[in-house]
Amino acid sequence: MAYLKNLENLSDEEIVKLTLANQENFSYLINRYEFKLSRYIKRISGLNNEDIEDLLQDIFIKAYQNLNNFDQKLKFSSWIYRIAHNEVISQWRKRKARPENVYWEVDNILDNIVADFDISREIDRNFLKKNLENILEQIDIKYREVLVLKFIEEKNYQEISDILKKPMGTVATLINRAKKQFKQKLQEANINL
């Protein structure tokens, strides 16, 4: 795989162009995004590792099959996250139920989401960490997803807009509502802000 070494410093978009000429280059994009997408899928869906691997395979197949349709005006990361988003939603609809076991990286969520709420220092952070997983499971999936994209995946509003195919104003509204719902769930759990 010597061809990979030559691609390390190239942008995703440059690698896409090279992949269109030589399909072996696509493996570099897979290596670059496999962990990121796996983490994203786990955070918004709660699927187990085996189901995530199956879903990742479907995502990369769809990305490869549609590489000719990639809009060079968009970031590749937004485009592939959009494919992942669509696949997760499709999987979710097939199951017709909310996932029961959602796995969260509690420390990252706490540091990113809670910091944005400007919670006072009197809150017992350990108590909040223990209850955060339960609180996030209770949030509507559309709100959970924007919280994950904004505060965990650290996507900007434009990238979230591209991934969700929603105007940036709608993204801002969704994030605002998600934060309100998160605060409400904290209050319902008797965690005073």
Residue recorded with tokens 């030559």: 6
CATH number at residue 117: 1.10.10.10
Specify the number of domains making up the chain.
2
Whether 167 is covered by a domain: the verdict is yes
Amino acid at 30: I
Instruction: Quote the domain boundaries for residue 83.
Output: 10-95
Q: Is residue 88 domain-shared with residue 46, that is, in the same domain?
A: yes
Last residue of a domain, one of 62, 95, 128: 95
Residue in 75, 72, 32, 22 with CA at minimum distance from that of residue 56: 32
Whether 2 is covered by a domain: the verdict is no
Predicted confidence (pLDDT) per residue in 77-104, tens digit: 999 999 999 998 888 777 755 444 444 4
Last residue of a domain, one of 43, 76, 95: 95
pLDDT above 70 covers what percent of the chain? 76
Q: Is residue 86 domain-shared with residue 110, that is, in the same domain?
A: no
What global pTM score does this model have?
Answer: 0.65
Token pair for residue 125? 């952070």
Instruction: With cut-offs at 50, 70 and 90, classify the pLDDT of residue 153.
Output: confident
Whether 148 is covered by a domain: the verdict is yes
Token pair for residue 176? 């605002």
